[in-house]
C-alpha cells in the first residue's frame, strides 16, 4: 500500500509537470512540418540516425526562404524501428497531422512500400533517400519519389567498370541478403555476364562478423575480383579477413561501401578497393564537402551511407514546398500541391548532382561515379579518386526514348 501511494504521487507530479510545461498555446496556422521515418532504435539505428541527422541539417540550412515567407518550418522525426507495422502505424499518424506536408523516408524498402500506400492515399509527398529497390517506384503511386539511384543502374555501372578494366575475367558475387544488397548484386551479375565475365559464384550471407568459412571456398576458385553487395561494416570486415586469408585480387562494393569508416575498419586491407557512389566528387560538388564537415561538426561523427542523399531528399522537399507556396499565391499549399511540385522537381542542384524526377519518381538521369580507396586514413576518404563516371537513364526515360525513336 505504501509503495502504491508513492507511485501515485510520483505519477501525479509527472503529469502536473508535463501539463504545466505547456504554457505555449496552439501552434498558429503557418506552421509547416516535415516528417521523416527511419530506424532510430535497434540494430539498424546507425544508418537511420544518420538519415535523421542529415534531414535535420538540411532543414536548418535551407529553411530560410520559407521563413522569409512567414512560415515556421519544423522537423518531426519518427522511429520506424525497421518494422513494417511500426512504419505503417506512424504513417497513419503522420497523415493525420495536417501540418505535415511531406515526408522523407525510409531506410528499409520493406517498410517504405506499405507505408507509401498510406501516404499515397492521403496525397502526402514522399521522397526516399535510401530505398534503391527497383519496385519502390513504378507502382503507379504519384507521391513516391527517390533521390537515390536504383539497384539496376548501380549494379550495371559496377559490372561495366570491372569488365572495362580488361584484367578481370572471373568474378565472385556476394550479397548481404537484404533488399539492397541482393538487388545490387543481382543486377551486377546480370551485366557482368552480359559483358562476358565469368561469374564463379553468387552467394548471399547474413553473417556480419566471421567470414572464415565463406572465404575458403572463394579462394579455392581464385576469382580475379570479388563484388560484395552490402554495407561497409560487413564488406570491410569481409575484406579484412579475405586479405588475411591470402586474397590478392580486386575488391569492389556498391555505395554502401562509400563511408570513411570503411577505411577505419579495413585499414591497409581496404586500400585499392573500388566502389560506386552516387555522391558527387568534391571537385564538382563543393557543397558535399561542406555537408560532411558540417555534419561532423554538429553530430561528432562521419555521416553514414545515404547521408548526402538524405540531405538532398530534405532539400528537394523544402524546394517543392517553396514552389507550391508560390503557386498558391503565398498561402499554405495543400498536400496534393506539394506532392505535385515535388514530383515536378527539375534540375535541382543537390549534393548528389542535378535532380530531376521522371514520371515514376526516379531520377531521370542518375550519375554513378566509380572511385578507388587511396589510403587507410579515414580522414582522406573524400580525396578518393574518381576513375569513371557512368550516366544511367531511368527506366521511364529509356521507355520514352524508345517510343520517340519509333
Partner 1 sequence: MSATTLSNGLFGNFKRVLRNPTYAFLGLLIYITVTIVVLSLLDRRSVIFPLLSTLAFPPLVLAPFVTLALPIDNRLKGLIILVLLFIVLPVIGMFDGSYLELAIQICIFSGLALGLNIVVGFAGLLDLGYIAFFAVGAYLWAMFTSPVETYFKTSGALVGTNLTIHIGSSALVITLPAFYTFMIVGVVVAGIGGILLGLPVLRLRGDYLAIVTLGFGEMIRILAQNSDSVGSPPINFTNGSQGLNGVGKPPIPQFLRDFVATVERLLHLDVANVQPLTQQLLFYFIAIVVIVIIVLVARRLENSPIGRAWTAIREDEVAAIAMGVPLVRMKLTAFAMGASFAGAIGVLYAAKQTFVSPESFSLIQSISILAMVIVGGIGSIQGVLLGAAVVTLLNLQVLQNLSLQINNWRNNKVVVPQVLIIIAGVIIALILLRFAWKNLKPWIKSRNVSSVKPLNILIGTLLVILAAAVVFISLASGDFPIANWPNQLELAKYQRFIFGILLIVMMIFRPAGLLPAARRRLELQTPKVEKQAEEV
Partner 2 sequence: MVSNRATLNWLYRYVLLPLGQILIFIVGAAVLMTAFAYVLAILFPTPRPNIVLADQIGRQLPGMIISGVTIGFVYAMIALGYTLVYGVLKFINFAHSEIFMFGGVIGFEVLRRITDAGFVQSWSPVVLVIVVVATSMLCSGLLAVVVERVAYRPLRGAPRLVPLISAIGISFFLADLVRAFEAVTRNAFKLTYPLTNIPALSTPISLTLGSTAINVRITSIIVIVGAVLMLVALNYFVNGTKLGRGIRAVSQDMSTASLMGINVNLMISLTFFIGGAFGGAAGSLFGLNVGTIDPFVGFTPGIKAFTAAVLGGIGNVTGALLGGVMLGMLESFLNGILVYFPALGIRYTDIFAFLVLILVLIFRPSGLLGERVDEKV
Q: Which own/partner pairs from 148-152 qualify as long-range (CB within 8 Å, at least 24 positions apart)? A: 148/278, 148/306, 148/309, 149/255, 149/278, 149/363, 149/366, 149/368, 149/392, 150/362, 150/366, 150/392, 150/394, 150/395, 151/180, 151/183, 151/184, 151/186, 151/187, 152/183, 152/187, 152/395
Pairing verdict, β 100-105 and 72-79:
unpaired
Contact set for partner 1, span 201-260 (CB under 8 A): 204
Of 242, 150, 161, the C-alpha closest to 187 is 150
Decide which of partner 2, partner 1, none touches 388; Cβ closer than 5 to 8 Å per partner kind: none
Out of 265, 323, 351, 392, the residue judged to bind partner 2 by CB under 8 A: 265
Closest to partner 2 by CB, 72 or 224: 224
- In sequence order, the β-bridge partners of residue 354 are 349
Residue 207 CB, shortest distance to partner 2, in Å, is 8
Query: Which residue stretch of 60-68, 175-183, 249-257, 269-277 sits at the interface with partner 1 (rule: CB under 8 A)?
Result: 175-183
Does 358 bind partner 1 (CB under 8 A)? Our answer is: no
Contact set for partner 2, span 328-387 (CB under 8 A): 376
SS3 for 345-374 is: CCCEEECCEEECECCCCCECEEEEEEEECC
The beta-strand segments (E) located in 144-266 are 144-146, 170-175, 198-204, 225-229, 250-253
Could you give the string, one character per residue 270-309, with x where binding to partner 2 holds by CB under 8 A and - elsewhere? -----------------------------xxx--------
Does 214 bind partner 2 (CB under 8 A)? Our answer is: yes
Give the Cα separation of 217 and 21 in Å (integer).
Answer: 63
Out of 61, 69, 83, 382, the residue judged to bind partner 1 by CB under 8 A: 83
| Residues lying near partner 2 in the complex (CB under 8 A) | 41-43, 45-46, 177, 201-206, 208-210, 212-218, 220-221, 233, 237, 240-241, 244-246, 261, 264-265, 267-268, 299-301, 376
Residues at the contact surface with partner 1, assessed by CB under 8 A: 5-6, 8-10, 13, 17-27, 29, 31, 40-42, 45, 49, 52-53, 74-79, 81-86, 88-90, 92-93, 95-99, 108-111, 113-114, 117-118, 121-123, 133-135, 139, 177-179, 182-183, 204, 299
Amino acid at each position: 500500500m505504501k509503495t502504491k501511494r508513492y507511485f501515485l504521487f510520483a505519477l501525479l507530479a509527472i503529469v502536473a509537470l508535463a501539463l504545466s510545461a505547456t504554457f505555449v498555446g496552439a501552434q498558429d496556422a503557418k506552421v509547416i512540418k516535415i516528417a521523416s521515418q527511419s530506424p532510430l532504435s535497434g540494430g539498424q539505428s546507425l544508418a537511420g540516425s544518420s538519415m535523421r541527422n542529415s534531414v535535420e541539417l538540411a532543414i536548418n540550412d535551407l529553411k530560410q526562404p520559407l521563413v522569409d515567407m512567414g512560415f515556421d518550418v519544423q522537423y518531426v522525426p519518427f522511429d520506424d524501428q525497421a518494422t513494417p507495422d511500426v512504419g505503417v502505424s506512424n504513417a497513419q499518424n503522420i497523415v493525420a497531422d495536417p501540418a505535415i506536408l511531406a515526408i522523407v523516408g525510409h531506410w528499409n524498402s520493406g517498410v517504405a512500400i506499405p507505408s507509401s500506400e498510406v501516404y499515397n492515399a492521403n496525397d502526402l509527398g514522399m521522397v526516399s533517400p535510401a530505398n534503391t529497390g527497383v519496385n519502390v517506384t513504378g507502382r503507379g503511386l504519384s507521391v513516391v519519389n527517390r533521390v537515390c539511384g536504383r539497384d539496376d543502374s548501380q549494379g550495371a555501372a559496377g559490372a561495366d567498370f570491372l569488365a572495362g578494366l580488361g584484367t578481370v575475367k572471373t568474378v565472385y558475387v556476394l550479397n548481404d541478403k537484404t533488399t539492397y544488397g541482393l538487388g545490387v548484386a543481382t543486377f551486377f551479375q546480370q551485366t557482368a555476364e552480359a559483358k562476358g565475365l565469368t561469374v564463379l559464384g553468387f552467394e548471399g550471407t547474413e553473417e556480419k562478423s566471421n567470414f572464415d568459412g565463406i572465404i575458403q571456398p572463394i579462394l579455392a576458385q581464385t576469382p580475379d575480383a570479388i563484388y560484395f553487395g552490402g554495407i561497409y561494416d560487413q564488406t570491410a570486415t569481409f575484406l579484412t579477413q579475405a586479405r588475411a586469408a591470402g586474397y590478392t585480387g580486386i575488391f569492389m562494393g556498391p555505395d554502401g561501401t562509400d563511408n570513411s569508416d570503411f577505411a577505419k575498419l579495413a585499414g591497409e586491407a581496404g586500400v585499392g578497393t573500388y566502389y560506386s557512389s552516387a555522391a558527387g566528387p568534391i571537385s564538382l560538388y563543393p557543397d558535399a564537402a561542406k555537408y560532411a564537415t558540417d555534419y561532423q561538426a554538429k553530430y561528432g561523427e562521419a555521416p553514414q551511407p545515404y547521408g548526402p542523399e538524405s540531405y538532398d531528399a530534405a532539400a528537394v522537399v523544402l524546394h517543392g514546398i517553396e514552389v507550391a507556396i508560390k503557386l498558391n499565391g503565398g498561402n499554405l499549399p495543400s498536400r496534393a500541391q506539394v506532392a505535385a511540385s515535388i514530383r515536378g522537381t527539375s534540375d535541382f542542384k543537390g549534393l548528389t548532382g542535378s535532380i530531376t524526377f521522371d514520371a515514376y519518381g526516379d531520377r531521370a538521369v542518375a550519375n554513378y561515379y566509380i572511385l578507388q580507396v587511396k589510403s587507410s586514413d579515414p580522414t582522406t576518404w573524400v580525396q578518393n579518386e574518381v576513375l569513371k563516371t557512368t550516366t544511367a537513364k531511368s527506366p521511364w526515360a529509356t521507355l520514352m526514348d524508345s517510343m520517340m525513336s519509333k
